[in-house]
């Protein structure tokens, strides 16, 4: 009898990760689906950005600037920080990964709210550290008292997400300052502001300003959402240069491509134009939230480019019904919890609202 040959074994923490499941796609033959599942911008790149990307493609046989010097300088200048205070990555997911690689390993604990950004537990596990998820409050907010109580000797990093993906509310200045007062200065706190441009809550914590008050704080931001560059992969973390240097050491060489670097720079130049688009999404967000309230949904304060439907046990059923609608409406369900719906164009949002209304899905 043949014994099965021994196989190379991954690290147990990695073996335990769920296998990747591709997201929903519309039927190949039907009308194009309304894609509200990934918090993308509904708008294609600005002509100036598309041109810069095309031009970068002309010289794609060359390596990009390894240290993305100009991009670091431009982001630094934008934030009023030095280039050395910024670490760029292939999306802020990558930048966050590099933070965890730099600061955590076996035996270290990483605290984050849950449910929050899906990448947090995965990145923590891949880094070899232990995830400490702390349940959100009923209204989809971070429970900062519980998070403070979760701090132990082993806590190395705390991830905060404002506004919280997928539920929507921001973290407020007063609550974050109160929380940080309880966090030992040896613990690194990362404030993930992926949706900062969409926030209209006047009490929101201003991560950039908070950096000046808290030497153990970093902020994480991205060009994927408000700047509409999700497909090009540029994000960054920023903070004290001493904290950032080890993060930079973990960055995969050349991981931000030349088209991505140039697209991000041109997008910073075109920021005003891009913020007009953000304003349109914010206006639609208000309209969608009102319409959902009319349908009977209690939506947590939406401050990103998405809304949260606390569908609970009906989550899978409602997501499936939306996908079966004509046109198909693709959303992001979290089984047993709820559904995150990205704000799209007016027409896309109307298609989503019509599909929801026809379900009589006013469950919450
Ligand atoms: C989308 C998102 C990011 C970053 O995405 P990238 O495309 O990797 O830049 C980071 N944090 C949160 C909470 C997000 O929703």
Is 354 in a helix, a strand, or coil?
Answer: helix
Q: What is the DSSP letter of 83?
A: G
**Number of structural domains in the chain:** 2
Q: Is the CB of 224 under 6 A from ligand 1?
A: yes
> Which residues, in sequence order, are bridge partners of residue 157?
110, 188
Backbone angles phi, psi at 157, to 5 degrees: -140, 140
If one counts every other C-beta atom within 10 angstroms of the C-beta of residue 163, the result is 28
Residues 127-150 as b or e (16 or more Cβ within 10 Å = b): bbbbbbbbebeeebbbbbeebbeb
Write down the pLDDT at residue 24. 59
For 186: left if phi > 0, alpha if psi spans -120 to 50, otherwise beta; the answer is alpha
* Residues 187 and 205 grouped into a single domain: yes
Q: How far apart are CA 170 and CA 205, in angstroms?
A: 8
Burial of 1 (0-12, 13-18, 19+ CB in 10 A): exposed
Angle at 317 between CA 315 and CA 318, to 5 degrees: 65
Distance 194 CA to ligand 1 centre (A): 5
Band (pLDDT 50/70/90 cuts) for residue 25 is low
For 292: left if phi > 0, alpha if psi spans -120 to 50, otherwise beta; the answer is alpha
Please check the confidence at residue 229 and state whether its pLDDT lies above 60.
yes
* Residues 239 and 96 grouped into a single domain: yes
Please check the confidence at residue 30 and state whether its pLDDT lies above 90.
no
Q: Is the CB of 222 under 6 A from ligand 1?
A: yes
Write down the pLDDT at residue 173. 98
Write down the pLDDT at residue 22. 65
Stretch 52-68: mean pLDDT, rounded?
Answer: 94
Band (pLDDT 50/70/90 cuts) for residue 4 is confident
Ligand 1: which of 194, 220, 343 to mutate, most ligand atoms within 8 Å of CB? 194
Backbone angles phi, psi at 313, to 5 degrees: -65, -20
Q: Is the CB of 109 under 6 A from ligand 1?
A: no
Please check the confidence at residue 29 and state whether its pLDDT lies above 80.
no
Please check the confidence at residue 233 and state whether its pLDDT lies above 90.
yes
Beta strand extents in 36-119 (DSSP E only): 86-89, 109-114
CA nearest ligand 1 atom 12, residue: 194
132 Cβ contact partners less than 8 Å away, ≥ 6 residues apart: 109, 110, 111, 112, 150, 155
**Nearest alpha carbon to residue 35 among 231, 192, 232:** 231
Distance 92 CA to ligand 1 centre (A): 6
Angle at 17 between CA 12 and CA 20, to 5 degrees: 140
Digit-coded pLDDT (tens) for 245-282:
999 999 999 999 999 999 999 999 999 999 999 999 99
Distance 220 CA to ligand 1 centre (A): 9
Q: How far apart are CA 112 and CA 140, in angstroms?
A: 14
Q: Is residue 85 situated within a structural domain?
A: yes
CA nearest ligand 1 atom 14, residue: 194
CA nearest ligand 1 atom 11, residue: 194
Cβ–Cβ under 8 Å, residues 139 and 168: no
The torsion defined by the Cα of 3, 7, 10 and 11, in degrees rounded to 10, comes to 50
Please check the confidence at residue 363 and state whether its pLDDT lies above 60.
no
Distance 119 CA to ligand 1 centre (A): 8
* Residues 261 and 278 grouped into a single domain: no
Q: Is the CB of 39 under 6 A from ligand 1?
A: yes
Q: Is the CB of 235 under 6 A from ligand 1?
A: yes
Its domain, for residue 278, covers 21-39+272-357
* Residues 33 and 167 grouped into a single domain: no
Q: Which CATH number do you get for residue 342?
A: 3.90.1150.10
Q: Is the CB of 192 under 6 A from ligand 1?
A: yes
Domain final position from 269, 292, 327: 269
Nearest atom, ligand 1, residue 90 CA: 8
Stretch 99-110: mean pLDDT, rounded?
Answer: 98
Q: Is residue 136 situated within a structural domain?
A: yes
* Residues 96 and 169 grouped into a single domain: yes
Ligand 1: which of 75, 89, 90, 93 to mutate, most ligand atoms within 8 Å of CB? 93
Domain final position from 254, 269, 284: 269
Stretch 154-180: mean pLDDT, rounded?
Answer: 98
Mean pLDDT of the chain: 95
Q: What is the DSSP letter of 84?
A: G
Q: Are strands 188-192 and 217-222 parallel, antiparallel or unpaired?
A: parallel
* Residues 110 and 172 grouped into a single domain: yes
Nearest atom, ligand 1, residue 235 CA: 9
Q: Is the CB of 260 under 6 A from ligand 1?
A: no
Distance 39 CA to ligand 1 centre (A): 9
Write down the pLDDT at residue 364. 47
* Residues 33 and 67 grouped into a single domain: no
Domain final position from 236, 253, 269: 269
Cβ–Cβ under 8 Å, residues 256 and 112: no
Q: Is the CB of 123 under 6 A from ligand 1?
A: no
Distance 210 CA to ligand 1 centre (A): 20
Q: Is the CB of 243 under 6 A from ligand 1?
A: no
Q: Is residue 6 situated within a structural domain?
A: no
CA nearest ligand 1 atom 4, residue: 92
Q: Which CATH number do you get for residue 109?
A: 3.40.640.10
- Tell me the two tokens of residue 200: 């209209």
* Residues 211 and 305 grouped into a single domain: no
Please check the confidence at residue 362 and state whether its pLDDT lies above 90.
no
* Residues 71 and 147 grouped into a single domain: yes
Q: How far apart are CA 83 and CA 245, in angstroms?
A: 11
- Tell me the two tokens of residue 343: 């704000």
Write down the pLDDT at residue 1. 60
Digit-coded pLDDT (tens) for 299-354:
999 999 999 999 999 999 999 999 999 999 999 999 999 999 999 999 999 999 99
Record the pTM: 0.96
Q: Give percent of the chain above pLDDT 90.
A: 91
Distance 160 CA to ligand 1 centre (A): 13
Band (pLDDT 50/70/90 cuts) for residue 26 is low
CA nearest ligand 1 atom 1, residue: 194
Band (pLDDT 50/70/90 cuts) for residue 231 is very high
* Residues 152 and 229 grouped into a single domain: yes
- Tell me the two tokens of residue 236: 């960054």
* Residues 100 and 225 grouped into a single domain: yes
Stretch 185-198: mean pLDDT, rounded?
Answer: 98
* Residues 246 and 307 grouped into a single domain: no
């Amino acid at each position: 009898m043949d014994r099965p040959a021994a196989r190379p074994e991954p690290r147990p923490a990695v073996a335990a990760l769920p296998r990747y499941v591709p997201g929903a796609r519309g039927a190949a033959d039907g009308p194009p689906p309304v894609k509200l599942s990934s918090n993308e911008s509904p708008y294609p790149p600005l002509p100036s950005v598309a041109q810069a990307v095309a031009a970068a493609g002309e010289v794609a046989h060359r390596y990009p600037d390894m240290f993305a010097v100009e991009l670091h300088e431009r982001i630094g200048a934008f934030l009023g920080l030095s280039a050395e205070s910024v670490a760029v990555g292939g999306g802020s997911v990558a930048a966050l990964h590099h933070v965890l690689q730099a600061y955590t390993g076996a035996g270290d604990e990483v605290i984050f709210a849950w449910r929050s950004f899906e990448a947090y537990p995965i990145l923590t596990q891949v880094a070899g550290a232990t995830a400490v998820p702390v349940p959100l409050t009923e209204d989809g907010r971070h429970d900062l008292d519980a998070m403070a109580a979760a701090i132990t000797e082993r806590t190395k990093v705390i991830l905060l997400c404002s506004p919280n993906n997928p539920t929507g509310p921001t973290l407020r200045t007063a609550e974050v300052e109160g929380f940080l007062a309880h966090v030992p200065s040896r613990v690194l706190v990362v404030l993930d502001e992926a949706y900062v441009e969409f926030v209209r809550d006047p009490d929101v914590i201003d991560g950039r300003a908070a950096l000046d008050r808290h030497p153990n704080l970093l902020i994480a931001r991205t060009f994927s959402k408000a700047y509409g560059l999700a497909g090009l992969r540029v994000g960054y973390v920023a903070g004290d240069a001493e904290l950032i240097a080890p993060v930079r050491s973990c960055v995969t060489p050349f991981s931000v491509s030349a088209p991505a670097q140039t697209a991000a720079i041109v997008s910073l130049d075109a920021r005003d134009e891009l913020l007009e688009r953000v304003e349109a999404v914010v206006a639609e967000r208000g309209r969608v939230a009102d319409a959902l309230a009319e349908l009977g949904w209690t939506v947590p304060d939406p401050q990103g480019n998405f809304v949260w439907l606390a569908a609970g046990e009906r989550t899978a059923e409602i997501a499936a019904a939306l996908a079966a609608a004509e046109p198909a409406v693709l959303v992001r369900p979290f089984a047993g919890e709820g559904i995150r719906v990205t704000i799209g164009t007016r027409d896309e949002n109307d298609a989503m609202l019509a599909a929801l209304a026809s379900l009589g899905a006013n469950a919450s």
